[in-house]
Amino acid sequence: MEPNYINRVWIIDDDAVYRYAFRKFVEMKGLCPDVVDFGNGKDAMDFLQNPINARLIPDLIFLDIDMPVMDGWGFIEAFEHIKTRFEKAPGIFLVTSSIDYRDIVKAQNHPAIIDYVMKPLATHQFSSLFSEYQEKQSAYL
């Protein structure tokens, strides 16, 4: 398996329409064989907490900030506590409609976050985000 090949992506977003569109586009373009979606950070975290799922950790997460129950920042914080259980850390794109200056600065300074992307997102941007991740991975290797 190529190290920079994307096997599994997650999309964590409370917007069901957006989740569907993302999944459909990735499938149609064959960008990645396995897309998993969650409606909020808590559902995703519950999934990761279960040791059976440890090997199912994604390569890439498209994470929304504003979500009920557990928001994007809550998820990132919760993941910090359990990340040692996994052999790799997923790359995170913050995909959000928040134009709050504090969110942007916080995202730019966060080591776990690859980039901050503003909603609404056009379909072609999905593909470019995948390439951006792959480029970063190659550069890193």
Q: Which of residues 49-88 bind other proteins (CB under 8 A)?
A: 68-69, 71, 74
Cβ count near 24 (within 10 Å)? 12
Question: For residues 71 and 98, is the Cβ–Cβ distance under 8 A?
Answer: no
Of 106 and 119, the one with the shorter C-beta distance to other proteins is 119
Stretch that binds other proteins, among 12-20, 55-63, 107-115, 133-141 (CB under 8 A): 12-20
Helix ranges restricted to H, the chain: 16-29, 41-49, 72-82, 101-108, 123-140
Cβ count near 137 (within 10 Å)? 18
- The closest alpha carbon to 70, from 90, 93, 45, 48, belongs to 45
Q: How far is the CB of 70 from other proteins (least distance, A)?
A: 9
- φ, ψ (nearest 5 deg) of residue 80: -55, -40
Of 29 and 85, the one with the shorter C-beta distance to other proteins is 29
Q: Compute the half-sphere exposure of residue 80: CA atoms within 13 Å on the CB side of its CA.
A: 10
| Contact with other proteins (CB under 8 A) among 7, 53, 97, 108 | 97
Q: How far is the CB of 89 from other proteins (least distance, A)?
A: 25
DSSP conformational letter for 59: S
Of 100 and 135, the one with the shorter C-beta distance to other proteins is 100
| 39 touching other proteins, by CB under 8 A | yes
Stretch that binds other proteins, among 22-30, 83-91, 103-111, 129-137 (CB under 8 A): 22-30
**Which residues are near other proteins by CB under 8 A?**
15, 17-18, 20-21, 24-25, 28-29, 39-40, 68-69, 71, 74, 97, 119-124
